[in-house]
Structure 1
């Protein structure tokens, strides 16, 4: 990409009638394209991304309601738009869906692998997880189902690698990796699968790996997968495909493929190796290093198009000059967050959302507002529940529900259940009782059926439960007393009853399941007769029962109660932030697509119950509790979330030199202020306890100047799982708020003056670390590491200006066990025992109150390490003495600072261990 000598090739596309259409020729260059994304340096939350564009509208093409426009009826509110630049590395573009995408090479003798195989690919995908309801995503393979031509295929299923092969072209064997890989925020990674067809133990072994790119290094992903029996791979005539795998309607990947390798044998002979970088954009075919010719499929292409914005245009304001000869439309496109922020409708409670999907015969949520006189049913054809003695919206203590009614002693409920042919049925009533349980048995639930037992009654007391059944004449036909020995009154419980026809008998089970506990307390029985179907729930609560809170009463045509209510009844309390985000995105797939970036081995924060709220609020609550960044993808109209742990200890994605021409544009203006200072932090768990963390000593403490900076307090309420979390989060937020370093709120890149930075910028993701080097002498010694929170950019024909919004990266360098630099604990205080000149190579160190520094006689392998004294970085190569006063042998001026130090100067590790959250 050579410019400013040649114009910057910017492409603007609109999705018109479902097809991406290049409208660059109509996009005015007189008004530069402006783009903003991510969050500002001052903001704690991400703002909707924006792009400003101006279209030539002299022909009325961009007037949505103009019948003479070729786009009439095809553009309007929220028309998708994307802006991209042409340049940088080429790749194989794959377009998703179930169409014929990717590239293929014909079958050849070298590709007819029947024994051990080694398959690798390198891709940047918009989505590495399977959308809800989709079995898998094709990645690469040699697999056609027609004519028994299956060999092998490599897929993604449920976010994990999956390898399948056929020994005979028809029957199949599969190996599914048990571990989910951590997807990096760049969305680029390489996967590898090997198959040992004869592991020497009478079976086969499949092993999976991941790497940053196809160049490695490869890290084994989980344990190998083994199977009984020696196997083989069928020698089919099928072409090998990349960016695709089968002729089946699996989802095809969306994004970029960079390379693929196929080896005969594990780490064996390379038989195919398409590399898509360095190819000619638009080329219909390429030849790999083994001589194989790869042809692009209709929905696959070699491209160097790099997206820098993806959003939607919500309005098309037409403007013109007084002559009417200059007509234009100035639009502002926005990302997904703008649309989500427009709606205020709360998502229903998790139970209300979950239960209808299990097709109940009848269901009454009972989530009406105070003042309601009946409970409606969301199930078509089910009449409202008639009630007496109910006061709605009184109890919001059930995590998976909106506020539920209080039911007074002697209250009633009656609801008709549509009848259906069935040989089994089940009922469930979640309840919670306040007050003293009754000593005598009281009616808790009653219903009628068409079976041998026409009326069922459940009576409960503080010590027992009675199940009564009456036949068509009203005679008592079943009388069973159950002594449970369990307190079934003092928390939320699910009362479940299920019955099923078994030959000439009916088997029934009554179960109490405490909400939040995976297994219940079941008691079973049977009687001779027919089960019938439930036709009415009709209960008069006993006058001796204490005040109840009840809701989400449901009747099913099978015993599926546990599956229907599990986890949803407590609002998915305890699930991690990224798990909840992914679940919400799947449930609301028509509204939002979302990718999460987290390490499954280091899960994100555990959350409290999911309460009714709008989707954006629920997603942001997850991000707030975890401390990561929710942002908009620049490559598609989706959201992305990188959890807090992906921000730790990053390798800089971009290094900028102040002295290199054009790499850091003016002005570079560090700010040393108190804008982010917080030294007294309180964190409260929603409906839980609080924790406070205060910095009471040191330069950033609550002490008055000059010993500190005074009090800068902050408080936040987070939806956390338990009361152990607030102290940890308060401590971490205090760490962030007392970081003592100048801020660099913005860093300017003049990409037209330094085009070699363009590939690195295009690969930059919100939350990435960058490094500034060779800073001027009047600034503190570098390098300076920063976290990129977002950016703005302005593009015209010959300029490309970018301003990165940044925060200090220092607080995100955290301790690593046994690491020689990040795994060291500092002392609780150390000073110089005597003043030293700027060139002294020996220093007296006094630790107080201790512990002392390690000595090199006992710990020779732990040397050297660096300390800071008055801003000078000093390297300690040896230490003698075993008391609090020790002598250090040092190398001076590691960071370029040359100065003398006085007696009593503070000595501290240059990189002390910081405990991560």
Structure 2
């Protein structure tokens, strides 16, 4: 039994309280989804602390922890792992370092390698190993990961860096990465290759194609030390994770000049000498650890209990993961515009105008900015803009006026969103801007069915600049949709100021410009106002912001402040993974969120606008749309999102054998229930159209028994980008809901009886694949193949058990083009043309629908492959015949089933290609 450890974060320091944990009561951890649950629950850890001296009574003044423990005190539980690692915490002092040496000053070919555990798709550049200090121009070489891409960096003069990157495949959380640079490939240029492997021992798999270009290159000899998790690469986001070992080689596959390997170091070691003679020391924020964390959470209550004698005092603790606390909050995050605009530099004034329906004025979230005065508006009347909460609509008449604090500099930008139902028949003033400190004193924007006009006036009302735009496309774009309108100045040269107005369709992002260049300074905005009559009745308006940032003074150049972009439509079309990453960055003070997926930019489902909602609701909306799993991190108090594509075609995470003691103790009981069956699925895009998928035939179809099982319907509304998505998602959900295979709600492992599995179990996470071989005859034949969605772990004094909640992994095996197994399309219909004995190796197969089977004569390279007939899996080694029936030569009983087969029994591929979502 490995050593178990319980720690509390007391006064900001992790404190070992293991000796106070009662050995008579096991530590029990629940994580992920419970049986029959469709989503992950908050993690939970229960244990009991001895409290005879009142140490764990938060209100006891005699406790050494008085004032240091209480509600939501962090707790973590770990076991001793099989090896040590370098723990880096994503801070500037979290690194390992060896001084500069002549052997490390490589100017020719180089080979960099690192074996790391981390979340590969964390956004930002994460240096893994390198010799690099940007601030003092001491750049030589480095290997890094950036949002799912692998990069090798080098500098030729120390003053700037060159990098080559390739997109990583979906990697296990622990993997080895490698980059090689051939500085002179013999053809007048240099060549870069990038690789990954399961460990530093290889074998290495290329990541993307080689990169070759001219001329040849070289590497600068810097004075920087060699570092693991280098903290001095400008713009980098420091790595948070584990480094197991690394290598720097002079020459590709050449001499090892540094080989930090921490796997055999003692916990708490502060330095070591590697096999190449390099002496390594740790930064203050790094550590050598051998802990494998099984739970991170918070203790919300400290209930003191005692027996009838009063001598035995204890505290039964139930700690919970971060989603328990975040799920209790009901406050919705503000709209995307309201959240983003206040962060803009140069913001002078801002009025979201998202006030409630009984409001009399529009408040500003900025200090010292007075409310905007509005009359004749219906507040909270229009909620159709994706990036905003409900905004006001104008009645007849309606006015608005707001005073702008004085800017310290000349030049400005005013921007807002609006939806004008129809263009006025005659020229009508839409917005008036008052300017001080310049010849121009007023800027007015007019609109009519004939033209859009921008007009600049002096103090006496004289027009000193104007432009009228009558383009039909520009007029059409100005009306009947949500637009963003900006008016801004720029230095035009020669004493003139370019005053520009631009409107941009929030959905299509197409922009129109009008501008005039009067002889005047840029001035400062003093106030904004509007007075609307019947012609502008029904106009919705909001998020009016004033900035002290002038434009470039170039015709048809957009404004320099772009804070509205993306947020105006609620980030419409953003992928689920990109939204999770963005929300994690925006709410980093509240919640740590990481992603596990193939590529967070493109493959996950594109989403509709982000509407106001609680943070947890918005995160769960991403997971629901994409079809992945949102769960709690093992290594820290954080959330992880595992995207749908990372669940496809997984390698086995834990391979069990029923016949080996401790690997699969009882009970192993399939659940032939219907809790996940869905054969009629309707998916609706929020605010859009719907798609439906129905299984019309087969044993799990909507047909009444015995032809099917009858309707099991489901209807759900998702945040989606286009109306093409619902039908595809409905088809995928129906595929998952009609998978005809046993579910194993509990697969248990006794690690105290099967310690050889400890390494694999410690590497297992939510969504990973678990298989059981050599199953007993009373179970269905063949390999049990499941996906682990949650578990209960019990850490006792003499026992360590893991009871996994699983679902079939089969539906997540999807087609791969040109793959020899997963790239085969199935038959449209085939059956035995005549009966066959249990040992017959020649079958007559009739094709009842679709094309014939391939033959050995025409496609010899495509053999052998597996088919299933009547529950028996056979290997097809040859097929002959140019018409139906065809003759199959088969190897019988591949899955252990040996029986006679009758004529008319259907036959199909064992692993047919299935389309992924």
Instruction: Please indicate the TM-score interval, normalised by the length of the shorter structure.
Output: over 0.9
Counterparts of 1:4-19 in structure 2, within 5 Å, are 8-19=2-13
Alignment match, 1:124:
117
Contact 2:667 2:748 in 1 (8 A): yes
Secondary structure, in 3 states, of the residue corresponding to 1:661?
Answer: coil
Unaligned runs of at least 5 residues, structure 1? none
TM-score normalised to structure 2 length: 0.94
Q: Shift of the alpha carbon at 1:886?
A: 1.8
Residue aligned with 1:621, SS: helix
Task: Say which SS state the counterpart of residue 527 (structure 1) adopts.
Answer: coil
Aligned to 1:492: 482
* Matches for 1:531-570 after TM superposition, within 5 Å: 531-558=522-549, 559=551, 560=559, 563-570=562-569
Q: CA deviation at 1:250?
A: 6.6
Alpha-carbon offset, residue 322 of structure 1? 3.4
CA deviation vs aligned residue, 1:439-464 (integer Å, no higher than 9, x gap): 32211111211132212221111231
Q: What is the alpha-carbon distance in structure 2 between the residues aligned to residue 146 and residue 510 of structure 1?
A: 41
CA distance in 2, matches of 1:692, 1:248: 50
Within 1, Cα distance between the matches of 2:526 and 2:136? Answer: 53
1:367 match: 354
> Contact (CA 8 Å) 1:815, 1:914: kept in 2 or not?
yes
Match of 2:767 in 1: 767
Partner of 1:253 in structure 2?
239
Aligned residue in 2 for 1:210: 196
Matched residue, 1:736: 736
Counterpart for residue 618 of structure 1: 618
Q: Does 1:784 align with 2:777?
A: no
**Could you list the per-position Cα deviations for residues 275-332 of structure 1 after superposition, in whole angstroms to 9, with x for gaps in the alignment?**
2234444455445443445445554444321111111111111222333322221111
Matched, 1:596 2:595: yes
Find the aligned partners of 1:548 and 1:427 in 2 and give their Cα distance.
18
Counterpart residue number, 1:115: 108
Match of 2:371 in 1: 384
Task: Indicate the residue corresponding to 2:318 in structure 1.
Answer: 332
**Could you tell me how far 1:580 is from its partner in structure 2?**
0.1
Could you say if the C-alpha distance between residues 842 and 779 of structure 1 is closer, same or farther in structure 2, counting changes exceeding 3 Å?
A: same
Which of 323, 327, 347 pairs up with 1:341?
327
Output the CA distance in 2 between the equivalents of 1:645 and 1:147.
42
Q: 1:794-823: per-residue Cα shift (whole Å, max 9, x none)?
A: 111110111011000011111111112111
When residues 202 and 562 of structure 1 are mapped into structure 2, their CA distance, relative to the original with a 3 A threshold, is farther
In structure 2, the partner of 1:747 is 747
1:74-113 to 2 correspondences below 5 Å:
74-102=68-96, 104-113=97-106
Q: Which runs of 5+ in 2 are unaligned?
A: 552-558
Matches within 5 A, 1:752-901: 752-901=752-901
Q: Matched residue of 2:530: which SS?
A: strand
Partner of 2:577: 578
| Secondary structure, counterpart of 2:46 in structure 1 | strand
The SS at the match of 2:807 is: strand
Q: Is the 8 A contact 1:831 1:846 kept in 2?
A: yes
Change beyond 3 A, Cα 1:399–1:192: same
1:474 Cα deviation from its structure 2 partner: 2.5
Corresponding residue for residue 128 of structure 2: 139
What is the number of equivalent residue pairs in this alignment?
902
Alignment of 1:699-714 (within 5 A): 699-714=699-714
Q: Tell me if the contact between 1:425 and 1:499 (Cα under 8 Å) persists in the aligned partners.
A: yes
* Greater Cα shift, 233-242 or 585-594: 233-242
* Deviation sequence 1:359-401 (CA, Å, 0-9, x none): 4212111112222222111121111111122111121111101
Label 1:850 to 1:145 Cα distance change in 2 as closer, same or farther (>3 A): closer
1:617-636 alignment, distance < 5 Å: 617-636=617-636
Q: Aligned with 2:130: secondary structure?
A: strand
Distance in 2 between the 1:432 and 1:788 partners? 49
1:857-890: per-residue Cα shift (whole Å, max 9, x none)? 2222222222111101122222222223222222
- CA-atom RMSD in angstroms: 2.4
Equivalent in 423, 428, 432 of residue 442 of structure 1: 428
- Check the 8 A contact 1:127/1:595 in 2, yes or no: no
* Alignment of 1:513 onto 2:507: no
Instruction: Say which SS state the counterpart of residue 528 (structure 1) adopts.
Output: coil
1:482 aligns with 2:464: no
Paired residue secondary structure (2:838): coil
User: Are residues 150 and 464 of structure 1, via their aligned partners in 2, closer, same or farther at CA, if it must alter by over 3 Å?
Assistant: closer
**2:678 maps to which residue?**
678
Change (3 A) 1:816 1:479: closer
Kept after mapping to 2: 8 A contact 1:866/1:873: yes
Distance (whole Å) between structure 2 residues aligned to residue 292 and residue 832 of structure 1:
69
User: Using the alignment, how far apart are the partners of 1:199 and 1:340 within structure 2?
Assistant: 55
For residue 716 of structure 1, report the CA deviation from its aligned partner.
1.0
Distance change (3 Å), C-alpha of 1:880 and 1:467: same
* Farther-moved stretch of structure 1 (870-879 vs 143-152): 143-152
CA distance in 1 between partners of 2:806 and 2:486 (Å) = 55
- Partner Cα distance (1:469, 1:906) in 2: 81
Matched, 1:264 2:250: yes
More displaced 10-residue stretch of structure 1: 612-621 or 793-802: 793-802
Match of 1:314 among 291, 300, 312: 300
Shift of 1:409: 4.4
Q: Could you tell me how far apart the structure 1 residues matched to 2:208 and 2:585 are?
A: 26
CA contact (8 A) 2:499 2:516 kept: yes
Residue equivalent to 1:687: 687
Q: 1:179 to 1:152 in 2, by over 3 A?
A: closer
Equivalent-residue separation in structure 2 for 1:527 and 1:840 (angstroms): 95
Distance 1:114 1:238, change over 3 A: same
After superposition, the Cα gap between the structure-2 partners of 1:525 and 1:211, relative to the gap in structure 1 and judged at 3 Å, is: farther
* Deviation sequence 1:145-204 (CA, Å, 0-9, x none): 799865434445566445554556xx33313445453564x5223232333334567665
The structural deviation recorded for 1:238 is 5.0
Indicate if the aligned counterparts of 1:37 and 1:49 stay in contact, CA closer than 8 A.
yes
Separation in 1, partners of 2:490, 2:138: 46
Corresponding residue number in structure 2 for 1:37: 31
Question: Which residue does the alignment assign to 2:556?
Answer: none
